[in-house]
Structure 1
């Protein structure tokens, strides 16, 4: 599977642009601010119907325009798939597959798997639990459409329950029966999501450890510990007993939206005790494990996006990555770099077909 071509109209700094890609390695080179990351984000957007950078769709529209469009052609075997995504300010996003709209946007996720490795990936380690949940939810959503639907339904119920809690707080009363119309389905979905996350981590962990051992050359042991309040055998009871606390807080204070994934190295938090190199290896191993699991499930190599990583990785880790590209561990690869001569030097012995795209 690979992306053959893409057309951009008023997407970020691109008023109008066409690009054709190699099925193997594509190097996007140009000065900082010329649109390298934006082009990678357009590929990501086409595959997942959302930006890797902006949480609000409207922020992807060129400042001087009211509507943006991304149109591209993916190839799977002998079959081509045209995907078109358009966003108009103040209106809902439109996503088409071969010029026909999806019944649900969720049906698109995972059809064209993609993995992004970006400079700020170490924020997964440094920031709070929300970023780690977002990472694993993103992996699971590409792997399991049912998980994505549950996740979206949970967040919708959560917003509705939180709105109701605010009303109860402001009016100083609690209608337990009304609250239960949101609480009961929320708890059921929370338990289901917890089980899906727990089962996923059991499968993900050995693959992640394998990749870390390769990158870290076996010098230390790493671990990911999934923590959830739902793991308690009394979660349903605890959730119900927490009503008054929720009203005072004006939000739901228990549930899978509080889950965390604890990253450890030799039984100590990576955030506090991991060196910069260890943290980079940890995050790279997360992404490579994501790639391997998606490949196994989807029976196709995901598109790999490498955004400005040569500035962030040391020579040894870059060499490991290039070796993987050279032995065809990956399928289609996109690499962005502000220094074309560096990219050419790093890739000079790679046997794969390399396509250079210069942004202006």
Structure 2
């Protein structure tokens, strides 16, 4: 199976774009422009088409252009030698279509077009609370396992119902028992999948960290859950008295975490900012490898502002990965036009460049690469 390649992107009343169309290369796409020109918004639109969700702002209404009431994102992809159209629209509610056919459930689209984002904001994965790491865990697994996603959606629906029952006061214990049985059934599946994922994923994270940091530190990743899948229902019932007082569910897989460790200690407490950034990049590179292995083709890679926000050694490692051909279609944002040619010279690959201006105007160029071995000029 071949990867998904984005050929064209059309934006209507999306964030700072009133009406814009872009064409892309199947290899490296370099989006350059000043801060505020909308570079990251293009990456986020691609993420929207891939997952049905914004990466940077989960509230759909806030992604509509100021003063407008609706937005539209249209992407034309090439996949298995055929053209596929993905259309996401929001007008008080979200609608997602594939080749003009509306999805009955948004979740049926998840995993079709795998995508990985590497952004300076990824350090939040390390330093924030457990919710951001669960989101990363769930996002990765949902892209390769629709059954996992189904259990996850059902679990959170039951969690909401159970919390509502606890909040208003329980007069019918039989209803709580029904919720608890569903809660546990979905939770057991999720917990087992998460543990299995971490067992497979952790060595990949450690390998990438070692490569980026030149083997200086020993890191590890561990799934942290208080749930015993053999005694989940019993554990839940033991927590009932506390749940009743606090009026919400205090025990379950929705409290799980991923422990990011440096020399067996939490890196969020004992690691430097540089070590934390390296760990977050290692997580994302491992995510790319994992999705590629499970899907059988390369995900789309979105690199947001990595040259300005990462130090030279980490950028060098990323560029080496780019030039090695490990990745498929890549989108890179940056503020400095001169880096396009620098990147092309370093990688030996043709780069398609889009330069954005503050007034939403743009220019596009293809950087040619001279191949010394066979005296040819390559261009995208």
TM-score (norm 2): 0.90
Using a 3 Å threshold, how does the CA distance of structure 1 residues 354 and 346 change in structure 2: closer, same or farther? closer
Aligned to 2:281: 284
1:17-56 map, 5 Å:
17-56=20-59
Aligned to 2:9: 6
Moved over 3 A (4+): none
- Superposed CA deviations along residues 40-66 of structure 1, whole A, max 9, x for unmatched, are 100110111110011211111112211
Aligned to 1:357: 354
- Is the CA contact 2:344–2:350 (under 8 Å) kept in the aligned structure 1? no
Unpaired runs of 5+ in structure 2?
358-380
Aligned to 1:140: 141
Q: Distance in 1 between matches of 2:172 and 2:203?
A: 47
Is it true that 1:338 corresponds to 2:335 in the alignment?
A: yes
- Is the CA contact 2:127–2:268 (under 8 Å) kept in the aligned structure 1? yes
Corresponding residue pairs, total: 354
How large is the Cα RMSD of the aligned pairs? 1.3
Aligned to 2:236: 239
Aligned to 2:307: 310
Q: Distance in 2 between matches of 1:130 and 1:347?
A: 38
Aligned to 2:377: none
Q: Distance in 1 between matches of 2:48 and 2:149?
A: 17
Q: Distance in 2 between matches of 1:65 and 1:268?
A: 49
- Superposed CA deviations along residues 92-130 of structure 1, whole A, max 9, x for unmatched, are 311111001123211111111100001111111111101
- Is the CA contact 2:307–2:334 (under 8 Å) kept in the aligned structure 1? yes
Is it true that 1:153 corresponds to 2:154 in the alignment?
A: yes
Deviates more, 1:64-73 or 1:224-233: 224-233
Q: Distance in 2 between matches of 1:184 and 1:283?
A: 36
Superposed displacement of residue 179, structure 1: 1.2
1:1-360 map, 5 Å:
1=3, 2-89=5-92, 92-168=93-169, 173-231=170-228, 233-360=230-357
- Is the CA contact 2:38–2:356 (under 8 Å) kept in the aligned structure 1? yes
Superposed displacement of residue 232, structure 1: 6.3
Using a 3 Å threshold, how does the CA distance of structure 1 residues 357 and 104 change in structure 2: closer, same or farther? same
- Is the CA contact 1:322–1:347 (under 8 Å) kept in the aligned structure 2? no
- Superposed CA deviations along residues 296-336 of structure 1, whole A, max 9, x for unmatched, are 11111101000011122111111111111111100011110
Q: Distance in 1 between matches of 2:161 and 2:113?
A: 32
- Superposed CA deviations along residues 59-79 of structure 1, whole A, max 9, x for unmatched, are 111122111110111112312
- Is the CA contact 1:110–1:141 (under 8 Å) kept in the aligned structure 2? yes
- Is the CA contact 2:188–2:229 (under 8 Å) kept in the aligned structure 1? no
Superposed displacement of residue 347, structure 1: 3.8
Superposed displacement of residue 233, structure 1: 4.2
- Superposed CA deviations along residues 209-234 of structure 1, whole A, max 9, x for unmatched, are 11111111111211111111213643
Superposed displacement of residue 343, structure 1: 4.2
